[in-house]
């Protein structure tokens, strides 16, 4: 839920772009968006530029929840950096990025 809220741009994000940003399949992202909508955290709006595009926007409640989640992520990242150091964290993230790239090129 948190990652989805963080993936939504302030002006809205097309529903088709949220899943790929998070590495989630369309079926799963659809269920997640339905759940977020039921909770009153997002709204679906038709794009004024292209009526075929559905934009996902945050409600005021969703913006508040996103800000709370962002604060938790920032604090968590600061604690990790403090514990293992910035250089080790950067090495870890670089390695994870290489692993993700490998997976993306090998799995179709």
Domains of the chain: which residue ranges?
2-106
For residue 25, what pLDDT is reported? 82
CATH of span 2-106: 1.10.10.10
**Tally of helices (H runs) and strands (E runs) in the chain:** 5, 3
The residue written with tokens 């790239």 in the block is 101
- For the cut 80, the answer to whether the pLDDT of residue 107 exceeds it is no
**Rounded mean pLDDT of 23-33?**
86
C-alpha angle with apex 22: 108 to 55, nearest 5 degrees? Answer: 110
- How would residue 70 be classed by pLDDT, with cut points 50, 70 and 90? very high
pTM here?
A: 0.77
DSSP string, 19-61: HHHHT--HHHHHHHHHHHHHTTSEEEEE-SS-TTPEEEEE-HH
- For the cut 70, the answer to whether the pLDDT of residue 16 exceeds it is yes
């Amino acid at each position: 839920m948190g990652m989805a809220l963080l993936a939504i741009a302030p002006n809205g994000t097309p529903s088709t772009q949220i899943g790929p940003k998070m590495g989630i399949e369309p079926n799963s992202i659809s269920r997640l968006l339905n759940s977020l909508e039921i909770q009153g955290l997002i709204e679906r709006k038709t794009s004024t530029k292209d009526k075929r595009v559905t934009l996902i926007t945050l409600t005021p409640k969703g913006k508040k929840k996103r800000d709370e989640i962002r604060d938790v992520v920032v604090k968590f990242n600061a604690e990790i950096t403090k514990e293992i150091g910035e250089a080790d964290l950067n090495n870890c993230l670089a390695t994870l990025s290489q692993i993700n790239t490998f997976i993306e090129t090998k799995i179709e």
